[in-house]
Structure 1
Amino acid sequence: MKVIAIEEHMLPRDIIESAGIDLGLRVGGRAAQLDDLGEGRLQVMDDAGIDVQVLSALGYFVQDLEPAASVQWSREINDRLAATVAEHPDRFQAFASLPVRDPTASVDELTRCVQELGFVGTMIHGQTHGVFLDHPSVRPLLAAAARLDVPIYLHPAPPPLAVKETYYSGLPEAAAACLSTSGWGWHSECAMHVLRMVVAGVFEELPDLKVIVGHMGEGLPFHLDRIESMLSPVVTGQSLSVAETLRRNLYLTTSGYNSDAPLLCALSAFGVDRVMFSVDHPFANSRQATTYLQSAPVSPADREKIAHGNAEALLRL
C-alpha cells in the first residue's frame, strides 16, 4: 500500500542561523532531524514504509519576523524546499512557507511556489501578531489559494504573550510550555481559528477555499455536534450551517494520533474522504504511525483513501 505523509517538518539550520533565529529548547532539540533532507530522512521513511513526504518548514519562526526579513527568509526556505523536491521528486513534495505579515508578498510568493516551483499548497502557523486568517488584510492571500486551487494547511503556533500569561503562568516552566502548545493549548487555538474563519464568513465569500488541519482535526470532530447546536443559530446570513461549512471546506490529518477513538470520531464526523495520513515528523514516530495505519479498524478501501488516495486527489499528486 502506498503511503503519503503530509505534515512532515523541516527547517534548514544554516538558514535559521543566518536569520538569527533561536529555536528554543524543544525545537532546538530536533534541529538535526529538521535539517536532514537527505539520507537520514529517507531512511526513516523507508523503515516506516512511507513513500512520499509533503515537506513543510516549521515556519512560525520565520512567519513571526519583521515583514522584510520574513519575505527574505521565506523565499530562501522555499528555494531549499524546491531543490530538495527536485533531487528526490518521487519521495518529496512541498508546502510553501509564507511571510504572512506582508499579505501582498505572500500572494506573490504563493503564486511563485505553485506556478514556478510546483508546490502543492502552503502551511501557515496560527495567528501572526494577533492577526488571524479571517482578518480582511489576509483575504487576498486566501483568495489566491482558492484561485490557484491549493490548500492552506493551518498548523498551530505558540500562543501570543497575553494568552500565555493569562492561561499558563504560575506553572512549572516545562509543563506550562507543553500545556500551551502540543499538550493542549495550540489544538484548541487552531480549532478556534478555523471557527473564526467560519463565523467571519471567509468560506461564504470563498467557497472553494480548502483548509487542512492536523492532529485528527484539532478537537473539531469531537465537538462538532455541540458547535452546530450552539454556534450555528447565531451565525446568520450564511448559506450553510457551521457544520455544513466545515464538512465542505475542511480536511483533517492524523498527525500525532495513533489510536482508534480519535480516528473513528473524525471519520464519523467528517467522512473518510476528508481524512489523510500524517506523522508530524520529527515530533512523532513514523514507524508507530504507519504501524497503526495498517491495523486501524477501517475497511481496506478506506485504508487506501487515508494512506494515499485522498492526498493524491486534494494535492493532485
Structure 2
Amino acid sequence: MYGKIALEEAWAIPENFKAYDVSSLAPKGVIGDDLIANLLDVHGTRLTQMDSNGVEMMVLSLSSPGPQGVTNPKDAEELATLANDRLAAEISKNLKRFAGLVSLSMHDPAQAGEELRRCWGDKTKGFVGVILNDYQSAGEDKNIMMFYDEEKYDAFWKVAEELGAPVYLHPREPTPLIYDEMWKARPWLAYSALGYAHRIGMHVLGIVTAGVLDRFPRLKVVIGHMGEHIPYDLYRIDHKLNRARFPNMPMAKDKLVRGYFGEQLFVTTSGHFSTPALLCAMQEIGSRAIMFSIDYPFESIPNGCVWFDEHVAVSNRDLVDIGRNNALRVFTRLADSEGVHGLEEKGPRECGVGGLGLKKEREREVEYGLYNRDWDKRLERR
C-alpha cells in the first residue's frame, strides 16, 4: 500500500539520553545496526526506507522517557523546549514527509499547556499532536509517579482539547522501586514484552474512569502497540466496572469504556504486527479506532510494512483507512488545507490496493490470474 502514515516513530537528541540510555535495551546490532544512530537520523536511512516501503508521512516524537524521566521540573521543562525546537527545525526541512508530536514536562499542568500553545501557534513548525511518555517522574529517588487522571491535570487537558491536539500516551520504564519489587528477578518481562502494556493500560483506564474524556468531549487520546492489551480485555473491563460496586467512579454512568473508542480513544499497530490481533481489535473497537504505525527504529520499517501490505486480510477500504485515512481524521492538522502538510484522504486504487496493477505493466500481459502472474511458475509477490 502506498501513502501510509506512521504515527509512533521515535527520534532523539543526545541530551535525551541523559534521562535514559536507550542503548541498554539490547546489544548493538540487535535493534538495527545502530539504534542510537537511527534515532538521531531523520533524512537519511529513515527517509530512504520510507520511500522503499510506501510510507508517505512519519510523525516523529522524542524517544521515551523524554521529559517524563526528568525529576527536576526546571530541567524537564528545558529538555522539552529544546527537543521541540530541534524537532521543528528537522521537520521544516521536509514538511511533506515529516510531522511532529510536542514533548512536555508534566510537573506543572499549566506550564505544559503553555508550552503546547507555544509550539502549536505556528503551523510551519509542523506539530500535529502531543507525546506523553506515561507517568511523570518526581523525587530525588525517582520513585514518585505523577499520573494525569488527577484533577489538577484538567488545566492541561483543557488546552489540548481547545487546540485540537491529540495526545499520544507512550510507555516508559518502571520506577526503581517498582523495578526492584516486580521485575528485577524477571527483567525480560519489564519492558516491551509485558511491563509497558501493564503500566500504560492502567494509566489510560485511569484517565477514562476518572471522567477526563467526559469533561473534555472533544479530546482525543491515542495509545500504541495494538491498544496495550485493552481491546482484548474490554468485555471483562466493562463487566467488572460495576456501578453498584463503584458508585463514586467519575466516568459517565451510562457509558462503557468500549464506547469511547473511535471517538476519543484510538490505537495504533506500532510494534504489534499480528493479523489475528488486528482482526480482534477491529471486532472489539472498530476499524475507525485503529491507525497504522511502525515504532521505528525500535522496529523494522520493512517488517512492519510487509506485514501490513501483504499479510493483513481485511477489506481494501479498511486497509486504506487504517493505513492512512483514519490518521487524517484524528490528527487533523495533517490534512489542514491551510497547514503545511497538506495530506488528503485516498481510496484503495490511489494507494495501489486491490487493482490489477499499473496500467503500463498490464498492457503487455496476458491476464493469468489475480494471485499469480505466470501460468506455469509460482512467482514471488512484489
SS in 2 for 1:262: helix
Select 2:132's aligned residue among 124, 130, 135.
124
Q: Does 1:69 align with 2:75?
A: yes
- AA matched with 1:12: I
Query: CA contact under 8 A between 2:11 and 2:63: conserved in structure 1?
Result: yes
CA spacing shift, 1:272–1:69, aligned 2, 3 Å? same
Query: CA contact under 8 A between 1:199 and 1:235: conserved in structure 2?
Result: no
Query: CA contact under 8 A between 1:217 and 1:253: conserved in structure 2?
Result: yes
Select 1:44's aligned residue among 40, 45, 49.
49
Aligned to 1:6: 7
SS in 1 for 2:202: helix
Select 1:98's aligned residue among 104, 107, 112.
104
Unaligned runs of 5+ in 2: 29-34, 138-144, 335-382
Deviation at 1:114, TM superposition (A): 1.6
Deviation at 1:113, TM superposition (A): 1.5
- AA matched with 1:284: E
- AA matched with 2:273: N
Select 1:34's aligned residue among 28, 31, 39.
39
SS in 2 for 1:212: strand
Aligned to 1:112: 118
Select 1:158's aligned residue among 173, 178, 187.
173
- AA matched with 2:9: E
Query: CA contact under 8 A between 1:94 and 1:119: conserved in structure 2?
Result: yes
Aligned to 2:217: 207
Unaligned runs of 5+ in 1: none
Kindly report which structure 2 residues correspond to 1:130-141, keeping only aligned pairs within 5 A, or say none.
130-141=145-156
The superposition leaves residues 67-122 of structure 1 with CA deviations (integer Å, 9 ceiling, x where unpaired) of: 11111111111111111111011110000111111222211111111222341110
Aligned to 2:208: 198
Q: Distance in 2 between matches of 1:61 and 1:87?
A: 23
SS in 1 for 2:314: coil
Query: CA contact under 8 A between 1:99 and 1:106: conserved in structure 2?
Result: yes
Task: Output the aligned Cα RMSD.
Answer: 1.8
Q: Distance in 1 between matches of 2:36 and 2:156?
A: 30
Select 1:278's aligned residue among 276, 279, 293.
293
Aligned to 1:297: 313
Query: CA contact under 8 A between 1:59 and 1:97: conserved in structure 2?
Result: no
Aligned to 2:24: 25
The superposition leaves residues 217-272 of structure 1 with CA deviations (integer Å, 9 ceiling, x where unpaired) of: 00011000111111143454624223223453210100011121110111111111
Structure number with bigger Rg: 2
Q: Where is the helix percentage greater, Structure 1 or Structure 2?
A: 1
Select 1:288's aligned residue among 278, 303, 309.
303
CA spacing shift, 1:208–1:220, aligned 2, 3 Å? same
Query: CA contact under 8 A between 2:66 and 2:103: conserved in structure 1?
Result: no
Aligned to 2:330: 314
Query: CA contact under 8 A between 1:231 and 1:242: conserved in structure 2?
Result: no
Q: Distance in 2 between matches of 1:232 and 1:195?
A: 14
Q: Does 1:185 align with 2:195?
A: yes
The superposition leaves residues 95-151 of structure 1 with CA deviations (integer Å, 9 ceiling, x where unpaired) of: 011111122221111111122234111010111131111012322111111111111
- AA matched with 1:126: D
Deviation at 1:27, TM superposition (A): 7.5
Query: CA contact under 8 A between 2:102 and 2:131: conserved in structure 1?
Result: yes
Select 2:275's aligned residue among 230, 252, 260.
260
SS in 2 for 1:134: coil
Q: Distance in 2 between matches of 1:69 and 1:262?
A: 40
Q: Does 1:54 align with 2:59?
A: yes
CA spacing shift, 1:87–1:39, aligned 2, 3 Å? same
